[in-house]
């Protein structure tokens, strides 16, 4: 297959292959007078992969955020998926264990099913024991929250803020 490349005025080679635009080993970027380095690695022979170099920490990264011209770590950004089950993590652990049991309600404190045909008795009993242990920890945690909330309510009532 013949690829036709041409050199742009900034020195990058641009061409077309299979109907898509190619840029090979392009130059660094300049944003509002700040240089953003583009570094390349070669995970496979002949396959180049571009990365940005963060102007603050000098790590290579996929994305640079324009508001601060920095990477995700330097901007202290986080992924929302890391915070899905952080409010009461014990609830998520109980749900996960109940899903392993199969054919039962995944909500905490719901009745547990009988052993499924084909599942070993020891494994089923181990899962049931783990569910009971996690539910016990959850009960203690929720009891502490309820105690704290009732104490806060009493303080607010004493201040006539309730």
Q: Report which DSSP code applies to 4.
A: E
CA 62 to CA 54: how far, in whole Å? Answer: 9
pLDDT tens for 5-48 read 444 444 444 444 443 333 446 678 888 888 888 888 888 888 88
Q: Which H or E run includes 23?
A: strand 20-24
Question: Beta strands 47-53 and 34-44: pairing type?
Answer: antiparallel
pLDDT tens for 55-71 read 999 999 988 888 888 99
The residues with which 24 forms a beta bridge, in sequence order, are: 13
Between 41 and 149, residue with greater pLDDT: 149
Tell me which of 43-47, 108-112, 156-160 is least confident. Answer: 43-47
Q: What pLDDT, on the 0 to 100 scale, is given for residue 128?
A: 94
Place of tokens 């990058």: 12
């Amino acid at each position: 297959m013949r690829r036709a490349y041409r050199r742009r005025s900034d020195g990058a080679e641009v061409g077309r292959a299979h109907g898509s635009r190619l840029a090979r080993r392009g130059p660094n970027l300049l944003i509002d007078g700040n240089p953003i380095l583009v570094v390349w690695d070669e995970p496979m022979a002949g396959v180049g992969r571009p990365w940005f170099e963060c102007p603050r920490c000098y790590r290579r990264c996929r994305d640079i955020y324009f508001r601060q011209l920095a990477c995700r770590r330097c901007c202290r950004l986080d992924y929302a998926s890391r915070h899905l089950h952080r409010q009461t993590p014990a609830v998520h652990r109980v749900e996960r264990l109940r899903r392993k049991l199969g054919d039962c309600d995944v909500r905490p404190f719901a009745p547990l099913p009988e052993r499924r045909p084909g599942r070993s008795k020891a494994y089923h009993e181990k899962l049931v024991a783990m569910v009971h242990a996690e539910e016990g920890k959850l009960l203690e945690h929720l009891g502490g929250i309820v105690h704290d909330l009732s104490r806060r309510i009493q303080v607010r009532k004493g201040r006539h803020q309730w």
